[in-house]
Amino acid sequence: MTLQLESIFRKAHLQLKPRTPLPEMHIEFFPFAGLTHTARMRDNRLLIRVSDLLADAPEAVLQSLSLILLGKIYRRTVHEEHHAVYRRFILDSEMQARARNARTTRGRGPRPAVARGRWQDLDTNFERINGDYFEGKLERPRLAWSATRSRRILGRYDATHHTVVISLFFDSPLIPDFVLDYVLYHELLHIRHPSRARECRFINHTPEFRAEERRFRNYKKATDWIKKI
């Protein structure tokens, strides 16, 4: 299979740079923790690793991926159809299930989840939000503070480890309760409204997600406050 993969990348190279001699290539399937691929040029040698989850992928998918990876190295525009072919394949429900399993079994375990910060306790916020918006029926995820005080990534939901991580920026006595409640509520909605594939793309915030998000009683006040960060 590796020989077939090398042949595919050689053809892609000729397509992108027909007048350039083929460099030495080292190409392999690699057991990444998910659908990760790497490609870099070192001393005129192409070093490429493709997730082994694609080892049984159709040749058309591997052809598209080879053009996408080499296109990034050589800064060449790759036709959108190749991106669509690749996305359509990896967004298939079976492939997504395999990717989740790889992240769980191969990836690093989650950091210890500590809900109590120096000033704020996420458990308190969760209990309030669960009662006010989920009728107390939402299963409690692991709640944790991030390692840094990011103002760009305010929070995220890690579905693999069922963990909500909130930026350490909000662990401050200066943060109003309604702001931290809103940030946590937004991330909890990802549990109720998971991302889904549509038209070869992942939709992280579905229309149902957005509609329920606006049910937060201080929605405008909270979002206005966050815009000033």
pLDDT tens across the length of the chain (229 residues): 677 899 999 999 999 999 999 999 999 999 999 999 999 999 889 999 999 999 999 999 999 999 999 999 999 999 999 999 999 999 988 998 899 899 888 887 777 889 999 999 999 999 999 999 999 999 999 999 999 999 999 999 998 889 999 999 999 999 999 999 999 999 999 999 987 766 557 788 999 999 999 999 999 999 999 999 8
DSSP H or E stretch at residue 206 = none
CA 104 to chain centre: 14
What residue spans in the chain does CATH classification 3.30.2010.10 cover?
Answer: 122-227
CA nearest neighbour of 70 among 20, 3, 1, 2? 20
| CATH superfamily ID and name for 122-227 | Metalloproteases ("zincins"), catalytic domain (3.30.2010.10)
pLDDT of residue 2: 72
Best CA proximity match to 164, nearest among 187, 180, 181, 185 = 187
pLDDT attached to residue 159: 86
pLDDT at residue number 197: 65
C-alpha to C-alpha distance for 109 and 96, rounded to whole angstroms? 19
Q: Are strands 45-51 and 38-42 parallel, antiparallel or unpaired?
A: antiparallel
Q: What is the CATH code of the structural domain delimited by 2-106?
A: 3.30.2010
Residues 14, 70: Cα–Cα separation, whole Å: 11
In the DSSP assignment, the letter for residue 23 is P
Position 200 scores a pLDDT of 57
